[in-house]
Structure 1
């Protein structure tokens, strides 16, 4: 086997074998995933919570320490993308489609079934926003930022391949080019395939629900397969055009549509209540951040924590290789401090405002307007939650169509970024992978998503996604150590250079001083 193609072929075969198991033995795969998930929740939940907090603390340390001034690239490099475009690409490639999917469903779910206290009350409404902010805040984005800053540093400053194995160079040395490095890459590819297939599967279900709600299209596997095929054709064309073409324009369009949707709901909804909820939620989140981040319920059954907090934190870890790799690719030229502000705090505030607008409006309808049917629809089928929510607004058809277009574009940009990263890793860190490799991965992801929709295996794969978070957590903890070691070596080099420059300048001053004195005497 060609060693240059080893990662591609091995990961492709393993992906197909994994999916074949889901096709021919779906009950066995689901049973294994469910058992693994329960084992992790019952025995290793503390490890997931602790790891995510370490990732956040490490990212903050890098941003405010002496390392913050180090540029992700040469000292003369500057950012390739404007900050607004860069942030738009962060959302488009990561959790944009999930924000649309859960914007109404998750806050309402917490309102009806809170982590503690009475349900459907003022207290549960406050807790709903507080825990939504926990699940979509700095903890989530820190997982992405850790991988992103580490890879960008070694890729652009140390000139190593655009692959996650490069991050471990301070610990492995040239072994990253041999078996240990290839094993890391194969594992990364598998986690990306699992993650993107699950996300696109949920996106397909929501698009199908939307066209059913709007135009009475049937909700079945045939409609869903057609949706996947059509969107696959679009994002393959988009990915061939390259990052600076399709992704830039689609990300900018995403931001415009997202602002338009939020603007309509903000104006037509309970505006004052939304702003109050936004600021109240941030305050409650900041005040209780440590307690919520480590809440394990050791004396209770912990079912709520397992179903929501541990699931989300596991999901963010599992998505970190994909999103982090893409974020690294678009972050060349930024300092580490700029990167942390832009990749952790700004997206977190954007997510908070999205949930404040959508979630607060939905809870207001249920609690103050008596629209309890909305809560029932969320409990029945979360894929219809957003469209049922819009049904209570003026211009409901317009809002639903706008949301459908937004989901569609997020679908395309997420898949586009996934195949781009898969192409980079498959070609040994090539920052500009070939169109053929990206097309192959695009077709594979589409085929996997169709199989999952047809076999109903999304829930099993969703569990498998969280299962991958344990080995990935270990990998990312080692990544912290390796990145710190690399940065430390860099600061030593910079310190030596500054010392030599100072000595050189001092020597020049000493040489010039006698000449100036002679000129002064002559004068």
Structure 2
């Protein structure tokens, strides 16, 4: 007898149907799709910039409040349960999933582009470098990581502390009760899946573009659709293998390798770049960031600079929110057994500090080269931000053979980040669509991995990744409502947790902790 379709089966069908419909619209009726996205983006930019700003400021405020609240000793799991992953492996996976190709793409390009144009220009000598780097810090700092940390905390708390399925709808239980497992909750999960697929697909398309640009810079290979599609096929093959191996043997190993290569790249810049000046700029910019964070967090360009605001801050806030279901789910998946205090440090503060170091060293080097006339990075990368990092490495002053080798390493690093994003995204989609199951079937995992690769190829053939980026930002708009509801649910559940402990109802007998490696994926 044929098994009746479960609710998760219907979720899968709806998510696939919506995704294919949107991709088909983009490919077959490209002109109509482009004009619709442009019109919608223009409308949002004109009337709702303030909403994105207010939402992200609220999420940052909620995370800062939680960080200093009384809940730091609450464990994401049973009392006495040990973390599933060692600290080093945990931080490596957080870093690889949360930043990925984006930091490689924008690490040099964004500060240089802000140097050319921003609404906060200063006449003070050298201040333009600080302002440019500060804006990059702002877009990649506490505000963005607060979004990831907040949704990751919501998911992990309800799944591991309250024994709900590891899905987004579980965080709505304090507000909706058992109705969160009905149509409304399932709709939230579908929205999260679609946002994840498009967020990962867009990032992979950008990664393919940067890899193709690197191959052109280093080896003279022309950047064509064929090259980019070949890159996608190769990386998806690696990602699919990683997905089949599972979290411990696949994604974890790739993430740890990512971190090693990333530190090697930082070391290259510290050895060959203007290190003393760069570290001074980085430290001063960190101070300027903290000093201006309150005002910058509420800046809406009400009196001017709205074009810059839409192209940068609103784009990045939408991007962080669109990626939040994916990264938040992955963070939750690997954070079982952590206390809230450890979670705040590992998911909120550590990535922010490392991001500042990354942008300070790479972006600061490029800014100093630009200021001293050592190289015109801005002119070399005009209209092609993917070239920024490769040009900076070539011109920093290292011997030709070393610079070429490092550029080759960057291409490889992009590939590894590419694979990590793809297999992490596949894991998240499968977890949501299997009601939080920690080990979805291999067939499902492979199917979604290949599907994400096919969608990435379709976007490359469609030819306008910028339009896809804007569509992802638009998709973030309704998800802000979901994130507000999840935050309210988390605060309500934490309040009950505290009250329960005071009344003696939440005391739990510590269980034998898992060793970590023996636990299944």
When the two structures are superposed, what TM-score results if normalisation uses the length of structure 2? 0.93
Is 1:398 matched up with 2:405?
yes
Q: Is the 8 A contact 1:112 1:124 kept in 2?
A: no
Is 1:263 matched up with 2:270?
no
The residue number in structure 1 matching 2:511 is none
Distance 2:44 2:434 in 1: 33
The residue number in structure 1 matching 2:362 is 358
Q: Is the 8 A contact 2:121 2:131 kept in 1?
A: no
Q: Is the 8 A contact 1:152 1:329 kept in 2?
A: yes
Distance 1:3 1:351 in 2: 40
Distance 2:266 2:69 in 1: 36
The residue number in structure 2 matching 1:511 is none
Shift, 1:213, TM fit: 1.3
Alignment of 1:372-387 (within 5 A): 372=376, 374-387=377-390
Distance 2:305 2:357 in 1: 32
Q: Is the 8 A contact 1:166 1:176 kept in 2?
A: yes
Alignment of 1:433-448 (within 5 A): 433-448=440-455
The residue number in structure 1 matching 2:463 is 456
The residue number in structure 2 matching 1:217 is 221
Q: Is the 8 A contact 1:201 1:453 kept in 2?
A: yes
The residue number in structure 2 matching 1:430 is 437
Q: Is the 8 A contact 1:111 1:121 kept in 2?
A: no
Q: Is the 8 A contact 1:387 1:400 kept in 2?
A: yes
The residue number in structure 1 matching 2:294 is 290
Deviations 1:34-61, CA, capped at 9 Å, x for gaps: 1111111211111111111111111122
Alignment of 1:465-480 (within 5 A): 465-480=472-487
Q: How many corresponding residue pairs?
A: 500
Alignment of 1:113-262 (within 5 A): 113-117=117-121, 122-262=126-266
The residue number in structure 2 matching 1:314 is 318
SS at match of 1:78: coil
Is 1:16 matched up with 2:23?
no
The residue number in structure 2 matching 1:407 is 414
Shift, 1:115, TM fit: 2.6
Distance 1:95 1:306 in 2: 21
Give 1 or 2 for the bigger CA radius of gyration.
Answer: 1
Deviations 1:263-320, CA, capped at 9 Å, x for gaps: 1111110010111011101100000001111111212251111111111111111111
The residue number in structure 2 matching 1:508 is none
Distance 2:494 2:181 in 1: 21
Alignment of 1:322-341 (within 5 A): 322-341=326-345
Q: Is the 8 A contact 2:501 2:507 kept in 1?
A: no
Distance 2:143 2:257 in 1: 27
SS at match of 1:104: helix
Shift, 1:371, TM fit: 1.6
Deviations 1:62-117, CA, capped at 9 Å, x for gaps: 22212222110101111111222211111211212110111111111011113332
Change (3 A) 1:453 1:3: same
When the two structures are superposed, what TM-score results if normalisation uses the length of structure 1? 0.93
Structure 1: runs of 5 or more not aligned: 502-523
Distance 1:52 1:202 in 2: 24
The residue number in structure 2 matching 1:273 is 277
SS at match of 2:222: coil
Deviations 1:5-52, CA, capped at 9 Å, x for gaps: 011111011100100000001111111111111111211111111111
Shift, 1:120, TM fit: 12
The residue number in structure 2 matching 1:521 is none
Change (3 A) 1:270 1:183: same
The residue number in structure 1 matching 2:517 is none
Shift, 1:121, TM fit: 6.5
Distance 2:244 2:8 in 1: 22
Change (3 A) 1:252 1:471: same
Q: Is the 8 A contact 1:104 1:355 kept in 2?
A: yes
Distance 2:262 2:123 in 1: 31
CA-atom RMSD in angstroms: 1.6
Deviations 1:442-501, CA, capped at 9 Å, x for gaps: 111111111111111311111111101211111111111111111111112111118999
Distance 1:181 1:173 in 2: 10
Distance 1:159 1:439 in 2: 28
The residue number in structure 2 matching 1:96 is 100
Q: Is the 8 A contact 2:77 2:337 kept in 1?
A: yes
Deviations 1:143-197, CA, capped at 9 Å, x for gaps: 0001000000000011111111111111111122221111111110110011001
SS at match of 1:432: coil
The residue number in structure 1 matching 2:518 is none
Distance 1:165 1:379 in 2: 44
